Amino acid sequence: MRFVFLAFVLIPIIEITLLINVGQWIGVGYTVALVLLSAFVGVNMLRYQGVSTLTRAQQKMRQGELPGQEMAEGLVLAVGGALLITPGFVTDVMGFCCLIPWTRLRIVHFLRGRMFVMAQTSTYQETEVHHAHFRAAPQDEESSRRRPEVLEGEFTRKD
């Protein structure tokens, strides 16, 4: 939470400082034109990459597969689009990183790893809280460090 607050404070300060410095270096008109050009190019890249990702997701759904990768890429594309609309050079660089396919895949890979760990930790803690009375006491130190065994099965609901 502290990181998010720090980002919301530092990024605008960096953006304003950079815009002022670039404006003094190349002129205000060129700076504004550069910001508008980056937004225009970014929106067009977003449109192309978004359609491409949507097409891949539809193909996976037709094959009966869950388009998890494409959904994550769509989320990163949306964040990238928001960053490109925001005026400034730092947010434009971050937005373009979200739109370029090989950097977007790295971002998705990083986020999926983090989300899996967070989801696994959350599920494990819920299991510990709600089903603690079903567990036997650990026999030794090694068994207490092991992750719980996952059981798979099928069920049918009868009303």
pLDDT digits (tens, 9 = 90+) for 129-142: 444 333 444 555 55
**CB atoms near residue 92 (< 10 Å):** 23
Confidence (pLDDT) at 69? 86
Q: For residue 84, is it within any domain?
A: yes
Q: For residue 65, is it within any domain?
A: yes
Q: For residue 154, is it within any domain?
A: no
pLDDT band at 77 (very low <50, low <70, confident <90, very high): very high
Please provide the distance, in angstroms rounded to a whole number, between the alpha carbons at the two ends of the chain: 45
Query: Per the structure, how many domains does the chain have?
Result: 1
Domain encompassing residue 97: 36-127
Q: Does the predicted TM-score (pTM) go above 0.75? A: no
Confidence (pLDDT) at 26? 93
Least confident among 22-31, 83-92, 97-106, 147-156: 147-156
User: CA-to-CA distance for 92 and 108, rounded, in angstroms?
Assistant: 19
Please write down the long-range contacts of 17-21, taking CB distance under 8 Å and 24 or more positions apart: 18/88, 18/89, 18/90, 19/87, 19/88, 19/89
Q: For residue 79, is it within any domain?
A: yes
The pair of structure tokens assigned to 100 is 């370029």
